[in-house]
Structure 1
Amino acid sequence: MKITKQEVERATKLYDLGKVKKISSIGGGLVNYNFNVKTDGGDYVFRFLGRKLDDYKKRKLKLEFRVLNYLKKKKFPYRIPDPIKNKKGQVLTTVKGRNLWIYERIKGKKVSKINGAQLKSLVKALAVYHKYVSSMNARRLKEDYIWLMKKYSVMEKVKPKNKVDRIMLENIDLFKDCLKDVSINLETGLLANHTDFHQGNLLFDGNEVVGILDFESVIVSPRVRDIAYAVKQYCFNKSKLSKSKMKNLLREYQKINPLSKKEIAMILPFIIRDSCVVFWWFYSELKKSKHKQYLYLKSSSERVKGLLREIK
């Protein structure tokens, strides 16, 4: 996505941010488009929404802003985006049909390859985040997977034209069976899960996490969802689960937030269910990083096959 200086200047006037000095694109992310904009008034991040702002997206965005405001009021110890209001008192605005919101750039560095000390700090940050949002009153939206089975029904009728189509068709039955056979409890330990808690959405100062970004996918769900995501990200050697890495990760988390045996037992089923959604999304919804689509589908399939062997 490209933006013009005129578009940026229009937005800076709406938010009274000063004269534009420099514009640069911020890489990463699979959905939204972020730009660093420096003005004579400060250093800002312009976050353009990569999806159409339908009713569902509006509800998600409302929850995202609510979580950010709640954490700010509770003096959350990590730096987070603080949405700036424009002259009309609104956070979200539209410039030439593009929806965006703005926050002051947060200090800290991203890491491409995480080390052991940084991973411990990541897990600690997740546990602290859960501590803070556990007292937030948030209603869980009805969550089922009927919609996903309908998506699968469309996918399995695809006439293969390339290797992406072929690997999808080779594995679609695997994911359909997982949806039917792998059950999860959606009522235990409910809180506002970040759902995308990895080093790409964190800022570090040396080995310590100092900032947390990208709350776009926040959803009220069992906290195990976030923990399962962390296990999926950091406890696999390719497609094989490392039980020792998982044990270490859970030990670090439980130094701050104890987990019940019931919750721990839910982790692997949650990874499988999450992979079911991810498989559809990578095939049907991925817009950025299309060159990695085949790899994403392949790794999701191999990981699920390995997990099914673990839980049987």
Structure 2
Amino acid sequence: MSVFTPLERHELEAFLAPYGLGRLKNFQGISAGSENSNFFISLERGEYVLTLVERGPRGELPFIIELLDVLHAANLPVPYALRTEHGEALRSLADKPALLQPRLPGKHVTVANAHHCAEVGRWLAHLHLATRGQMRERKTDRGLDWMLAEGPSLALKLADAEVDLLRATLAEIGACHAQILALPRANLHADLFRDNVLFDGNHLSGVIDFYNACSGPMLYDLAITLNDWCSEADGSLDAAHSRALLAAYAALRPFTPAEAQLWPTLLRVACLRFWLSRLIAAEAFAGQTVLIKDPEEYRRKLALRQQVHVPLPFAL
């Protein structure tokens, strides 16, 4: 179970009292997390999620709280931070930053269809449109500079064929660095995987886990999303699912020629980001009872993205 910080009932009850949401009925650790400790909380007045933030500086959390407030105000289904009776949103529990949020309805989708992909594309476009005019700056700690810095040291632990793939992608990032950063920007979810989206029937009912949210090129967010939602079991892109997601997004925010040109590159960059971070996590948590996602999944996707046959829809 990926609960890094276990909680006792008495300390949880003391933490929850200032919210005025009634008696604690039950709580349960959530096994799906790979970076933070999350708990389902059942109180007399409803169902909630408590997150203890395990990674990243506390000073970054007001950014996430403010971003979620903006998205909630824009009527997007997100788990905004609840305030105590004294107006506090960010608090501390077990010496960790802690947030209490409403539990959104719905379930995760394991096998996505074209309708799911279109719903996700629309949601992502709404996120970008809601924030590009009032973007909150936050540099990601898993960005281009991080990849260029971490990649060479990780190459020492890889097989020859993997090293060639890694070095080629790092060279591409170096060559396109300035052009990528010059692409149209907004706030990004930056981790819009299937396990961070909820569906209630065919309706997208919630998006969770904004702890990797940042500011940056909107196309990068789209590439991260499509690499997960539109990939076949072998890592190749499903053309029909990809077109559904891209068309739904483009109907709300048309693409620019620069984005169309850099699209294959951004798909590869997005693969590299998760290949590297999963390699690091696999080494850091080896032998521990923590959910570790398979680095090989994104190495395989990166190899397959050397040729991209799904272009962006017509760019203005």
TM-score bin, normalised by smaller chain: 0.7 to 0.9
For the 8 Å contact 1:81–1:103, the answer to whether it is kept is yes
Taking a change above 3 Å as real, the CA distance of residues 201 and 291 of structure 1, as seen in their structure-2 partners, is closer
| Deviation, structure 1 residue 108 | 2.8
- 2:9 maps to amino acid: K
| Pairing 1:179-258 to 2, within 5 Å after superposition | 179-182=170-173, 183=176, 184-237=179-232, 238-258=234-254
For residue 17 of structure 1, give the secondary structure of its aligned residue in structure 2: coil
Q: Deviations over 1:108-149 (max 9, x none)?
A: 333332233222222222222222222223336499644433
Query: 2:42 is matched with which residue: 27, 38, 44?
Result: 38
User: May I ask how many residue pairs the two structures share in their alignment?
Assistant: 295
Question: Aligned Cα RMSD in Å?
Answer: 2.7
For the 8 Å contact 1:108–1:211, the answer to whether it is kept is yes
Calculate the TM-score normalised by the size of structure 2.
Answer: 0.82
Query: 1:98 is matched with which residue: 76, 96, 99?
Result: 96
- Kindly indicate whether residue 287 of structure 2 is the aligned counterpart of residue 299 of structure 1: no
- Unaligned stretches of 5+ residues in structure 2: 310-316
| Deviation, structure 1 residue 275 | 2.3
- Distance in 1 between residues matched to 2:62 and 2:20, nearest whole Å: 23
| Deviation, structure 1 residue 67 | 1.0
Q: Deviations over 1:48-89 (max 9, x none)?
A: 1121x53xx522x2221111111233xx23321121223553
| Deviation, structure 1 residue 292 | 5.1
| Pairing 1:90-129 to 2, within 5 Å after superposition | 90-129=88-127
Q: Percent identity?
A: 19
- Kindly indicate whether residue 33 of structure 2 is the aligned counterpart of residue 29 of structure 1: yes
- 2:71 maps to amino acid: L
For residue 263 of structure 1, give the secondary structure of its aligned residue in structure 2: helix
- Distance in 2 between residues matched to 1:81 and 1:303, nearest whole Å: 30
Calculate the TM-score normalised by the size of structure 1.
Answer: 0.83
- 1:7 maps to amino acid: E
- Distance in 2 between residues matched to 1:194 and 1:263, nearest whole Å: 18
Taking a change above 3 Å as real, the CA distance of residues 170 and 58 of structure 1, as seen in their structure-2 partners, is farther
Taking a change above 3 Å as real, the CA distance of residues 68 and 250 of structure 1, as seen in their structure-2 partners, is same
For the 8 Å contact 2:140–2:213, the answer to whether it is kept is no
Taking a change above 3 Å as real, the CA distance of residues 231 and 72 of structure 1, as seen in their structure-2 partners, is closer
For the 8 Å contact 2:26–2:43, the answer to whether it is kept is yes
- Distance in 2 between residues matched to 1:279 and 1:109, nearest whole Å: 26
- Distance in 1 between residues matched to 2:140 and 2:103, nearest whole Å: 35
Question: Which residue number in structure 1 is paired with residue 137 of structure 2?
Answer: 139
Query: 2:256 is matched with which residue: 244, 250, 260?
Result: 260
- Distance in 2 between residues matched to 1:142 and 1:218, nearest whole Å: 8
